Amino acid sequence: MSQPAAASEMPSFDHWKEYPTNLDREQYHLDLSELRARLASDANRLFVSDSDSRPQLLSLNHATPGAYAIKPESFTSAERLDLDLASISLRRDLRVFYLVQAFSWSRLLVSEDHCRKLLTYLKVHPAFLDILHTSGEKIGPVEESFAAQFARISPPPPLPPSPGRPRAAHRGYELGYNIKYVERHGRKLADPFSLRETGVYQKWDAPSAEGDWIFMQPSASMKSLLEAHFPQTAPSDAPYLFQLHAAILAKASSSWRPYINHLEDAFSKIVDRGFYTNVRGPAHDGDIDADFSDIRRLQILTDKLQRLSHVLHMNTQVGLAVQDFARRLRAAWAGAPPAGGGGGGGGAAAGEEAAAAARFEDFDASVEMFLFQHRAHRARIDSILQRADGISGLVRTILNFRDVESNQRIVQSLRDATLQGVMQNRKLERLSRSSAQDTKSMMIIALITTIFLPATFVATFFGSNFFGFQRKGDGGGDGELQVAANVWIYVVVTFVLLVFT
């Protein structure tokens, strides 16, 4: 069992509000002031209030000889965080911190003060902030295409290793990255999967042969995997702890296959609509028909596939970087001086080196499988994208052909309408000529009427019973014209008719 830490190794929160500028600037080739300012400006998006802060810890102590025993804890206040970290430091436990979110696009359930204290105490590499900024509250796919990774091997110890100290731990290291994965979200949506990511940080301290882990928003299945693996290792088995990164990468790769199967199925339905639709449109009820909505659905699917292809590429780059770091770390550990000074120590050191080499070989094989799977997933997506270009062109050609036919029908209809208009104009011309002739006839009739109507009217009027001629006396002398007493009736009726007509 480990001995209690010296007083100088007690937890230090010096200038924690200034993280990361409170770190040793000579160890990092970064602009710490800029990183600190960015963390402060992004705090409202990343963190909750102190009262809602719930960082979680798995404390793995040495209660069981040669292995860890897990003790889960949750911090509810800054004071509790300080005290628990001090207690854990004295026991020399392996610490696994979970910075989780209520849901994938919400804030981390840790306050800014708690986070700065934790990162100060653990002396976390400031490059970890690149990973931290990919989390937090989002209203859109912010930095969905971003990947971060950093790795650092600590300088060799200035003094020879102490007898009995693990040979593989002569050089400490830090490693961090974010890995993206897909997972079923359980909601009733057309796409049953959602894209998520986990941030990972590990630090191995050579003098104490202990280390720390930070996981940002790990999935439930990943937490179960980690909590199953951690107790199986001896406290000083650094190669096994490093080998857990291979398990993390493999877990992140496990759901890509069913998701791409789902996308291929969705794509095949659009392919059917393109291949089996009638070029001239549906001829019978129930016929498959392609329209502009299929182009839109295909474009939406294509955009999603392009984003996923980029994500798989970034995951592959992260895997390659972790694999390269493992090889550099293996070389650094292989060059460390043997533990002890001679005698039987040489055989123990050789056995320890062989065990570490086997761990690294397993790790390398696991990462190679992760890389192959991601390349295969990306190749499947690229194949769908290439096929999508073809089916998109086919559907567009069909729609263009229909547009041409529709335009031809419209042109023919316009031509027919024009011909009908010409015929109508000819008929109107004939009617106009006939009307002109009728007008001339009416003018002649009107002229005749104008000439003869007054005389006819006068003759008719005087020939009516309203007028009479009476001779004077009994002889045949002169007579006089007499008007009937009711002649006014004629005048009134005529006037009324004139008014109404």
User: 10 Å Cβ neighbour count for 407?
Assistant: 10
Kindly tell me if the per-residue pLDDT of 351 is higher than 80. no
Over range 461-485, report the average pLDDT: 68
Q: What is the pLDDT of residue 315?
A: 96
How many residues would you count in the chain?
501
**Helix %, strand %, coil % of the chain (to 5):** 55, 15, 30
- Of 215, 278, 246, the C-alpha closest to 367 is 246
Which tens digits make up the pLDDT trace of 12-59? Answer: 677 888 899 988 776 778 888 999 999 999 999 999 988 888 888 877
Interval 368-391 mean pLDDT: 91
3-class secondary structure, 459:
helix
Pairing of strands 467-471, 193-205: unpaired
Q: What are 334-346's pLDDT values in tens digits?
A: 755 443 334 445 5
Q: What are the tens digits of pLDDT across the range 256-306?
A: 999 999 999 988 887 766 555 554 555 545 444 555 566 778 888 888 999
Classify 6 as helix, strand or coil.
coil
pLDDT in the model for residue 150: 93
What value does the mean pLDDT take over residues 449-461? 74
* CA distance linking residue 155 with residue 138, whole number of Å: 39
CB 97 within 8 A of CB 214: yes
- What pLDDT is recorded for position 136? 82
Which pLDDT score, from 0 to 100, does residue 130 have? 92
Is residue 2 within 8 A of residue 235, CB to CB? The reply is yes
pLDDT reading at 4 higher than 50: no
Measured CA to CA, the distance from residue 117 to residue 14 in angstroms comes to 9
| Section 413-435 average pLDDT | 87
The DSSP line for 315-342 is HHHHHHHHHHHHHHHHHHHHTSPPSSSS
Q: Is the pLDDT of residue 7 over 50?
A: no
Nearest alpha carbon to residue 77 among 109, 50, 46: 50
Residue pLDDT, tens place only, 105-147:
889 999 998 899 889 988 899 999 999 998 888 776 667 788 9
Query: pTM of the full predicted structure?
Result: 0.73
